[in-house]
Structure 1
Amino acid sequence: MNQSSTEDLTDSQQSNWENLSKEMLELWFEHLKNEENYSQKQCLMNCMAPFLAVPMTVVQTIFYICEEFQQPPEVRYLTVELFDRFVNNQFLMLFPKIWPTDINGAVFENHGWKRISDRIKNQSLLRIMSCLSLASKFIMFNKMVPLKKIQEFLHKIGSIFSVKTILASEMRVYRMLDYKLCFPKVLTYTDLLIELIDLPGNVDKKWLHKFSLKVIDVTYLFHQEIFYKLFYYSTGRWEKTYEERKQFMETECNNSFLAAAIVTTTMTFLQPDCHAILNQIAIELNKLTDVPSDDIIALASIITMIILT
């Protein structure tokens, strides 16, 4: 798949947004918000914040691999999200085996955890490739990444696996994800918000969609730093208490909040001197997401600073 066909896929998705009525887009957005409320409850129940086990180096690796396979943005974002979910679910499954609780309290099995962690580390690249394969099938089934190509790539970097092992890994990852895939959340929210807000007449909506991808890249790569700084600017402290950690996790899991900040950041680079327009867009985003406009602008300011530094 060449670069032009990748761009054609993204352009095709944007034209699909334009074919939907505003009422349909609003219904879809409300449906996503309802789904997200359930996802947030699951994150809070399991104390699993996004990107907790997927630092910048892992995101960089995924972006690099997706570029090598000439995958569109939708696939690279979904690959990150699937791998994040897989690692979290894997940890929740393994945790009771290494830290069982009985009447005498919790006893951590250090040797058992080291053995498991070493095995996970050795298989991490294979699992990333499984997530990539699933993402490519979900986003563009007719141009999915063949297992043979995955085998050749792994072999090139010194990881020898049979096609049978690669397929078994993909099925294991799919099962660990409870056989549930969805479109990349932040990108979907961002695209919907761009379609729903009233933009100034001199703003090219297609350009806004394309430029927002650059901003989304930054939020995936610097996710932990962005929300670390957001907590500091909100409280004046870097360290969280246990209760604050739980409360802030809900903010970090709010993809509509992040998408609203991405739209505002994108508009900041397009209309850097038009503060009235940016404030008006933040107010519109507040009505759609129920996130205070001041919070949207604060998060957008942090993203903007990271881009400029």
Structure 2
Amino acid sequence: MDLDISYIEPLLDEWLEELQLIIKVQEKLIKSTDEFYMPYIAVPIPIVNAIYKITEYLHLERDIRYITIHLYDKFMCNYFWEMYKKTDGTQSSWSQICKSISSHSILYLMSCLQLAYKMNSHLNNLKIPQVLGILQRLDKKSVFKTIGFRMPLYTPLNCIEILLAATGLKDTPRMQELTIDLLDLFYLQRKKLYSHLQCLIQGYIARTIEEKRSLMALESNVLFLGASVILCGTFFLYVKSETIDVIAIKLSQLVDIKVNNIWDMANILLTMAIQE
């Protein structure tokens, strides 16, 4: 997604408004009692590492890895929920389902990767030999059906690009490279990041169901993630503190998130980036 500000500037408000609507629908799903979705629950660090290594080996664009993460996470949550509703509630039946899903996880992952590739490319399909024949055993229709026939319209990387354009930072030297590297780090340290963020915002680990759902809603907000990554990126560019304050306020207005929350997330990400 290569954004030319001269062409897309009139569309920025519309894109951001659409993203806000998508995020509100996501938050409603998380807070629903008759559905099951816990953001990122199905993509622990080993899965993220696997996706990174596969996309690097196949020389695929960065955006494909983020689409794959989204699809796999969504599919596994929906699939677990479907299976859960069919169980008799016994430990043995649930263990059997977990074992079955686990044994097919790599196939589901590769199916999500192929769907992500097809969404991101209008040229060539991902060839079976490229993934060592694994895709021969996949049922992409099953995966696509389970995620509700919906593909992610905007990945975190897309959100970052939109916010960079909206804040006038798109052409800032090294900014795009920095934000991509920080986004990669986020996925590898996501659990730790949000755990620290929760303590900063609430002063303690979430106890009630409502508190946990509020945190999950924040975790699923890709605009919040994008704003935090961008603000963190400015720290590495030795931008004047007064300018960073202005950028933070602008980002807060664009994504409709408290500026303090964006500052907190950006600072946590900065600390982890320095430690890497």
Gap change, CA 1:149 and 1:172, over 3 Å in 2: same
- Residue in structure 2 matched with residue 254 of structure 1 by the alignment: 221
User: CA offsets, 1:33-75, max 9 Å, x none?
Assistant: 1122112211221352311121111111111111111111110
Matched positions, count:
273
- The amino acid across from 2:208 in the alignment is T
Q: Is the 8 A contact 2:70 2:152 kept in 1?
A: no
Gap change, CA 1:109 and 1:144, over 3 Å in 2: same
Shift of 1:20: 2.3
Q: Is the 8 A contact 1:136 1:143 kept in 2?
A: no
**Structure 2 residue 61 is matched with structure 1 residue 95:** no
User: CA offsets, 1:187-221, max 9 Å, x none?
Assistant: 1211111000144xxx8436312221101111122
Residue of structure 2 aligned with 1:179, choices 127, 145, 149: 149
Q: Is the 8 A contact 1:230 1:299 kept in 2?
A: yes
Shift of 1:125: 0.5
Structure 1: 4+ residue segments shifted above 6 A: none
- Residue in structure 2 matched with residue 146 of structure 1 by the alignment: 127
TM-score normalised according to structure 1 size: 0.83
- The amino acid across from 1:305 in the alignment is T
- Residue in structure 2 matched with residue 81 of structure 1 by the alignment: 70
- The amino acid across from 1:56 in the alignment is I
Measured on the aligned residues, the alpha-carbon RMSD in Å equals 1.9
- Residue in structure 1 matched with residue 98 of structure 2 by the alignment: 117
Q: Is the 8 A contact 1:228 1:238 kept in 2?
A: yes
- Residue in structure 2 matched with residue 3 of structure 1 by the alignment: none
Gap change, CA 1:24 and 1:220, over 3 Å in 2: same
SS in 1 for 2:7: coil
Shift of 1:261: 0.3
SS in 2 for 1:237: coil
- The amino acid across from 2:223 in the alignment is S
How does 1:212-223 map onto structure 2 within 5 Å?
212-223=179-190
**Structure 2 residue 11 is matched with structure 1 residue 20:** no
- Tell me the distance in 2 between the aligned counterparts of 1:30 and 1:243: 26
Q: Is the 8 A contact 2:71 2:112 kept in 1?
A: yes
SS in 1 for 2:152: coil
Q: Is the 8 A contact 1:78 1:183 kept in 2?
A: no
Which 5+ residue runs of structure 2 have no aligned equivalent?
A: none
- Residue in structure 2 matched with residue 291 of structure 1 by the alignment: 257
- Tell me the distance in 1 between the aligned counterparts of 2:168 and 2:9: 11
Residue of structure 1 aligned with 2:26, choices 29, 36, 39: 39
**Structure 2 residue 194 is matched with structure 1 residue 224:** no
Identity of aligned residues (%): 23
- Residue in structure 2 matched with residue 282 of structure 1 by the alignment: 248
- Residue in structure 2 matched with residue 133 of structure 1 by the alignment: 114
Q: Is the 8 A contact 2:36 2:78 kept in 1?
A: no
Gap change, CA 1:206 and 1:129, over 3 Å in 2: farther
- Residue in structure 1 matched with residue 274 of structure 2 by the alignment: 308
Shift of 1:136: 0.4
- Tell me the distance in 1 between the aligned counterparts of 2:36 and 2:105: 22
Q: Is the 8 A contact 2:63 2:155 kept in 1?
A: no
Q: Is the 8 A contact 1:257 1:296 kept in 2?
A: yes
Q: Is the 8 A contact 1:47 1:246 kept in 2?
A: no
Gap change, CA 1:145 and 1:19, over 3 Å in 2: farther
Shift of 1:250: 1.9
- Tell me the distance in 1 between the aligned counterparts of 2:238 and 2:171: 12
Q: Is the 8 A contact 1:74 1:184 kept in 2?
A: no
Shift of 1:137: 0.5
- Residue in structure 1 matched with residue 140 of structure 2 by the alignment: 170
